[in-house]
Structure 1
Amino acid sequence: MPVIFKSKATGDLWMVSAHAQALLDGLNKRGDAAGILRVEEMAAALATLKALPDEPARDPDLDPDDEGVHEPRHPDPEQDGVSLRKRAWPLIRMIEQSLAANEPIVWGV
């Protein structure tokens, strides 16, 4: 199921739930339930999301010395070669626009 972020200042933002949860984890929010990012939380959220590394994380479950095809044991939203920082960009823009309009962002509603 996707997570749909909503704000009166922008259009809806649809995000794959694994990617949304990975971003929301860094903001100490849950993506599997209704949530809100209040205007007073947005500056800190922007700083957190903009500080994400721009390189995909390596999967510690893969043994680099093991030969053959490697399949991660646990799906990781960063393992497809796209960093969380890049995935965060639409949410960053939504937060910036919502902050400028003094409107909260909600999801799961």
Structure 2
Amino acid sequence: MSDAPAPWTTVARTTVVADRWIRLHADDCADGSGRRIAPYYGNHTNRLHHFLALGCSRVADQSLDDNEDILVRTRPLETLGEHLSQSYHQLTWYKAMERIGR
């Protein structure tokens, strides 16, 4: 598996919506190779996603689009909850455990 992708940098930011419920930005970003990604819409919750897949095996390398960088990390199911520090991610983990009967 490859090393972690270089972090993006925010070159410019425009606030699209900001109120007491949400803060949405349209960012002009550059990836580790200097490629520009704009607009990149984001808020404080869209940087990390979890996906629970059981019984899988790797059969090929990733085939990514030009502007994609995806880091895949695997964790043992029994200790996965210890790696989730945000309540939303813990909730999704508990729901997944309930769904698979654990």
TM-score normalized by the length of structure 2: 0.23
Identify which of structures 1 and 2 has the higher relative contact order when contacts are C-alpha pairs closer than 8 Å and 6+ apart. Answer: 1
Structure of larger gyration radius: 2
Bigger strand share: 2
Bigger helix share: 1
